[in-house]
Structure 1
C-alpha cells in the first residue's frame, strides 16, 4: 500500500501543523485545485462512460453505483440527486454502499474489506445484463469495490471503474477505465480530500452528460426535473417560460395542463395539446430540440 501515490508524502505538507490558519488553508485549497486538474486527461473516458450509461438507461437498463468509504459517499451523493434533477426513478439507479445504511451514521473501515457482502449487494440489486455499474475506489484496490465489479461483470453488466492510482486492479478489470491521477494527498493517505473531490466532480460531469444524452437537459435547463417542493415548482415554471418564450402565467397554466411535466408543458405552451405533446416526445425519445427547432 505504501507504493500507492495516494499514500505518499505531498511536497507541500512538511510543517503543515505549524502553519498559521490562513497559510494552511491556502495550501489545502491549492491541493484541491491541483486534484481537479487531474480530470482533464480523464475527459475522453468520462465521455465514453456517459455514452454507455445513457444507452443502458435508454434501453431499459440501469446505471448503478458502488463504492466504500469516501468514494462510496461521493457515489451516493451523485446517485441520490438523479431522481430530482433528471427525473430518473431510483430503481433505475441503484446504490451499493459498503456497510449499507448503518455505515452512513458510523463508517467502519472493516466493511471496505467485505467482499462477500459486495457480492450479496450486487445480487440483491439484481445488477446484470443490460446494466452499467459505476465502481469507485481511490486506491483502485478496495476489496468491496473489486468484488462488486467482479460480481456485476459475471452477471453480464458493464463496468466503469473510477480510481486515482495508475495500474490499479479496478481499472484493469473495468470495461471503461477512468483514471483520475490526483497523486499524493497533503494529509498523506486522506483520500477524502483531493481524490474524493476529483471523483465527485467526475461524477457530476458524467451524470450531466448522461442527462444531456437522454434529452433531460435543454439549453442548460433541467427539463425533466421532478418538482416536489415549492422551490422546484417555481423553477419548473421559470424553465417553461424561458424555453417556450411565454409569460409566467401561461407557463403555470401549461404545467397544470401537463400534470407538472416540464417537457410536455413547454410544448403545450407552444400550442400543442397535452396528448399531442406526450406523443411527440415519445417519438423523439424524450428530446425537445427536434420539436422546437
Structure 2
C-alpha cells in the first residue's frame, strides 16, 4: 500500500466515523424524529394531508406560549441596549437564517428604523437567501468574520437561530458576541440545546417532530417566525415606536403607506382630513410628528424638538408639550 493510498484510506475512515457521529446526534433531536404513523402520508387524499399539516401547525402557538417568560426577559434586555444605541443582529443558517433576514428587512418600513439598526446575517451571505451555500452553516469562524465586519459592541444584541440548536454558525455567532460583551440569545426548537447553553438567554420552543421527517422549515420555521415577531415588535413598542397599537413610526414610502399614514393620524387624533393633511405637510410626512402637531398644538419644528427631548416616545412628548403650554 502506498503512502497516498494509506492517507486516503484513513481519510475515508475518519469521514465515515464523523458521519456516524452526526447521524447518531441527529437521531437524538426531537426535530429530526421519525413518525411511523405518518409513513403512508403520501397515499392519503390531498384534503387529509392538508388537514394533518394544518393540525400540526396549530400546535406551534402553544409551544411558543410555554416560553413567553424567557422571551419577555430577552426583550427587556434587548430594549435596554437598543435604547442606548445598540443594534439587534440575527444570525442563522438555512431557513433559520432566512427568518432572521426577513424580520430584519421588515423593521425599516414598519418602524422607520435605520437599516443598520436591525441586521440579519445568514451563513453564506445574501446569496444563501435563495440558494443553499454548502458548508457555510458548519463554520463558527464564518460567523465570527461576519460579526467582526459589524464592529460589534457591548450595546448590541446577537440572536443565534437554529432549529436543531447545534448549528455551528449560530453557536459561533453567540460565542463570538459574548467575547465582545454583547447580549446573546439562543433560539432553538430542541430542549437542552448547545445554542441555548451558549447564550445568556436561551429560548427553546419545542414543537416536536415534523410532518416530513427533519423538514424544519415547517413547524420549527413557523415557531421561529412567531418568536422573532414577538422580539422585534415588542422591542419596538418598548422603544416608543408605537402609540398604543398604532405604527406611528412607519415610513410612508408608497401610495398605500401614505394612505395608511393619514389613517393612523386620524385614528390617533380624531382630527378632520384638512387638519391631518396640514400636519403631515408640516412634518414632511412623519406620522409621529404629525400626531404631536395635532394633539400637542405645536408646529412641525417644535414637534421634532419635543420628540428628540423625549427619546422618541410620543406619550412623553405630549406630556412635555402640555407642560410647556401651561
Tell me if 1:273 matches 2:299.
yes
Tell me if 1:163 matches 2:201.
no
More moved, 183-192 vs 282-291: 282-291
SS of the residue corresponding to residue 125 of structure 1 reads: coil
Structure 2 spans left out of the alignment, 5+ residues = 1-25, 320-326
C-alpha contact 1:12 1:27 (8 A) present in aligned 2 = no
CA distance in 2, matches of 1:158, 1:211: 17
CA distance in 2, matches of 1:185, 1:176: 25
CA distance in 1, matches of 2:310, 2:151: 29
1:131 equivalent in structure 2: 156
CA distance in 1, matches of 2:109, 2:99: 17
Q: Please state how far the C-alpha of 1:292 moved relative to its aligned partner.
A: 4.6
What is the 5 A alignment of 1:91-240?
91-240=116-265
TM normalised by structure 1 equals 0.96
CA distance in 1, matches of 2:233, 2:169: 27
Tell me if 1:88 matches 2:91.
no
Q: Per chain length, whose mean CA-contact separation is higher, i.e. which structure has more relative contact order (CA < 8 Å, sep 6+)?
A: 1
Tell me if 1:243 matches 2:257.
no
Q: Which structure would you say has the larger Rg?
A: 2
Tell me if 1:285 matches 2:311.
yes
2:53 equivalent in structure 1: 28
Q: Please state how far the C-alpha of 1:87 moved relative to its aligned partner.
A: 1.0
SS of the residue corresponding to residue 170 of structure 1 reads: helix
CA distance in 2, matches of 1:125, 1:186: 38
CA distance in 2, matches of 1:75, 1:264: 30
SS of the residue corresponding to residue 135 of structure 2 reads: helix
Structure 1 outlier segments of 4+, above 6 Å? none
Q: CA deviation digits over 1:110-142, x for unaligned, max 9?
A: 211122211110101112211101110001110
Tell me if 1:51 matches 2:76.
yes
RMSD (CA atoms): 1.4
1:258 equivalent in structure 2: 283
TM normalised by structure 2 equals 0.87
